[in-house]
Amino acid sequence: MPATVIEAVALSKHFRVMQKAPGLKGALKGLFSRVYRDVHAVKEISFSIKEGELVGFLGPNGAGKTTSLKMLSGLLHPSSGQAHVLGFVPWHRERRFQKQFTMVMGQRTQLWWDLPAWDSFLLNKEIFEIPDAEFETTAKELTRLLEIEDLLEIPVKKLSLGQRMKAELACSLLHSPKVLLMDEPTIGLDVMMQQKVRQFILAYNQRRKATILLTSHNMDDVSELCSRVILIDHGRILFDGPLSEIHKRYGDGKLADVMRTVFSEQRVH
């Protein structure tokens, strides 16, 4: 029986957000009197994910997916509730925890813009204290799988989006993390590149028995990678179960159409 790797219990997050009336008048008014409102981004969500599972975390924009990932990665302190990842409380940010997980954010890069990607690889080697031999083997394997061996000495700013994304993925996985939190890993990529990244994620999951939780608006990512999905909207979990169950309940059409139905009607329990 695989061990539970990610566990969230009644996890909630509220933000205080400033509101501004539109236009110049609103901007002037905001100089002297500011109005704030509480946004409940995540409301008491609970779920658990076992070792080696590849789970899709789906929902429309503003549903609370990224906020949940940020709490599980330790970036955000929750307003209430508990979470454990690999047995650690994420927001305590223990070194032993950070060395075993990674978070890939499709729209953000950790690569140094003016320097070749290899320099960023070397920096991660030092930061994660990866032994020389292990680094060599892993870097070789990752760059071969992602087909970026010839791009490592070119300044990152000269790479295409797809090449950068692949280099970013390799850089994030150099320390062989056991848990991957991926936020839109294929965003902005063309169809061919999306396919390659998906194949790579699946291969990594199978080879390393890594636990992966990914958010995506691309339903091809979900249908090709995830056997289980968690649907979230307005900060609440609407569904948590096998992908096949969604089709059983809501029809065999394209996953994107099924999702549209689910989120527009919000009838899933």
Partner 1 sequence: MKKYWFVYSLYWQEGLSRRASFFMERFRSLVVLLSFYYLWSALLTHRTSFAGYDRSQMITYVLGMNILRSLVFAGKSDEIAWEINRGVLSGYLLKPVNFMAYAFSRDLSEKSINLLSALIEVCVLSKVLGIAIAWPHRWDTWVWFIMAMAGAVVMNFLLSFIVGCWGFWTAESGGPRFCLELLLEFSAGAFFPLSVLSRPLQAFLQKLPSPYLVFFPLNIFLEKLNPTQITYGIMTQFLWILVLAGGTRLVWMRGLNAYAAQGS
User: Under the rule (CB under 8 A), what is the footprint of partner 1?
Assistant: 15, 70, 73-77, 93, 95, 98-99, 102-103, 105, 108, 110, 112, 114-115, 119, 122-124, 126-129, 155
Least Cβ distance, residue 126 to partner 1 (angstroms): 4
Output 93 or 207, the one with its CB closest to partner 1: 93
Output 105 or 246, the one with its CB closest to partner 1: 105
Q: Is residue 16 helix, strand or coil?
A: strand
Output 75 or 202, the one with its CB closest to partner 1: 75
Least Cβ distance, residue 38 to partner 1 (angstroms): 13
Quote the CA–CA distance of 182 and 70 in Å, as a whole number: 10
Least Cβ distance, residue 226 to partner 1 (angstroms): 23
Quote the CA–CA distance of 88 and 103 in Å, as a whole number: 16
Supply 190's token pair. 């063309």
The pair phi, psi for residue 116, each rounded to 5°, is -65, 155
In 21-115, DSSP assigns E strands to 35-50, 54-58, 80-85, 101-105
Least Cβ distance, residue 264 to partner 1 (angstroms): 28
Quote the CA–CA distance of 82 and 35 in Å, as a whole number: 31
Output 112 or 239, the one with its CB closest to partner 1: 112
Output 31 or 192, the one with its CB closest to partner 1: 31
Residues 6 or more apart whose Cβ sits within 8 Å of residue 114: 155, 156, 157
Quote the CA–CA distance of 262 and 197 in Å, as a whole number: 27
Helix 191-208 with 161-173: angle, nearest 10 deg = 10
Least Cβ distance, residue 62 to partner 1 (angstroms): 14
Least Cβ distance, residue 239 to partner 1 (angstroms): 26
Least Cβ distance, residue 12 to partner 1 (angstroms): 15
Quote the CA–CA distance of 63 and 80 in Å, as a whole number: 18
Quote the CA–CA distance of 46 and 132 in Å, as a whole number: 40
Q: For the sheet containing 80-85, what is the strand order? A: 35-50, 4-19, 80-85
Quote the CA–CA distance of 191 and 231 in Å, as a whole number: 24
Least Cβ distance, residue 229 to partner 1 (angstroms): 24
Output 132 or 252, the one with its CB closest to partner 1: 132
Output 34 or 140, the one with its CB closest to partner 1: 34
